[in-house]
Amino acid sequence: MATMRWQKSQHYQVLRMRLARLLKRMVAPLRRPRRLKMMETIFPHDEQLRGGKLAPVSLPKFEDPISAETAEPKEVENPFGNIAPKNPNWDLKRDVQKRIDKLERRTQKALAEIALEQQREKEALEESQD
């Protein structure tokens, strides 16, 4: 008898679950509006409105500039050819720049003195010839 009760109770539970699902299906449309399908939102229900369709848009022909560039093979550069720095002695210039500036000033002074001496010698020669 115990097995019989268990089978009956299990059978009743299955029937109750099926009945509950059926009731949900019947009551659900009354509670909330029906969800529209995708195509129902795109196309109007009214026949007059359906007739007023626009002509499909014709797109201009598109030429891909990237594919045109890839058609021409490019020369492959040697990746090891550019190992040397652009300015190989930049650190030397940085370290010696003060000394170079000092020497440049002295050179300019010396050139100015030499030019003055040459001008004095020319003036002395012109005075002696007169």
Percent of the chain that is helix, strand, coil (3-state, to 5): 65, 0, 35
> Rounded to two decimals, what is the model's pTM?
0.32
- pLDDT of 103 reads 94
Highest mean pLDDT among 34-43, 49-58, 119-128: 119-128
CA dist 22 and 16 (Å) reads 10
Residue with tokens 């909330």: 32
CB 50 within 8 A of CB 43: yes
- pLDDT of 61 reads 81
The rounded radius of gyration (Å) of the Cα atoms in the chain is 50
Backbone angles phi, psi at 76, to 5 degrees: -85, 125
User: Percentage of the chain with pLDDT > 70?
Assistant: 63
CA dist 128 and 122 (Å) reads 10
Per-residue pLDDT band at 124 (split at 50, 70, 90): very high
Cβ within 8 Å of residue 43, ≥6 positions away: 50
CB 71 within 8 A of CB 65: no
pLDDT higher at 17 or 41 = 17
